[in-house]
Amino acid sequence: MIDEVLPGDKKNREAAAAKKYFAALFGCTFKRTDEDVTNATLNYGYSIIRSAVCKTLVAYGYNCVLGIHHINEQNAYNLADDIMEPLRPLVDLWTDNSCDDLWEELTKTNRRDLIDLINVPIKMGKKKTRVRYAIDKYVSSLTTAIEKQDPEQLIIPELIQIEHDFEDDEDG
């Protein structure tokens, strides 16, 4: 469906693709608007990633209200929502992998594990690094791309298989 999403998405193809995506991931009866533990997990995980992205954007001098694609006047985090898009699948994957451990509400352990997603390895360019460091590199590359007016300077994080014994040079 990616080829059907046009600038402005007047036909709402992105939402249709998201509906199919979530149904494929969590079952055909899943609705993103339901009040259940799966949606609570997604919301909590997204808020963790959004917070980390927002903190970094502000550190680089960005105003998070001013988004690129997200332009809701009621949303104080439009830019963070734009920038976090490539990181959302981390939460989706964790939620899918943890469905047997999710009951009627998020446990303290579930929340701790979701917070720890900022420590999992991710690919940035040709290197692997933790999400928390990748966010800084990502926002730095955004700044460079804007300053040089060269979108090729933007380095977007890519998911990799989670390695539990990963050691990052930046951990010190």
Answer yes or no: is 13 within a domain: no
Answer yes or no: is 109 within a domain: yes
Cβ atoms of residues 35 and 80 within 8 Å: no
Answer yes or no: is 99 within a domain: yes
pLDDT at 62: 95
When divided into structural domains, the chain yields a total of 1
Residue carrying structure tokens 């249709």: 16
Handedness of CA 162, 163, 169, 172 (dihedral sign): positive
164 pLDDT exceeds 70? Answer: no
Expressed as residue numbers, the domain containing 43 is 19-171
pLDDT at 162: 67
CATH number for the domain including 67? 1.20.120.920
Q: How confident is the model at residue 75 (pLDDT cuts 50, 70, 90)?
A: confident
pTM of the complete model beyond 0.85: yes
pLDDT tens by residue, 98-140: 988 888 889 999 999 999 999 999 999 999 999 999 999 999 9
Answer yes or no: is 132 within a domain: yes
Cβ atoms of residues 155 and 138 within 8 Å: yes
67 pLDDT exceeds 60? Answer: yes
Answer yes or no: is 5 within a domain: no
Answer yes or no: is 14 within a domain: no
Answer yes or no: is 12 within a domain: no
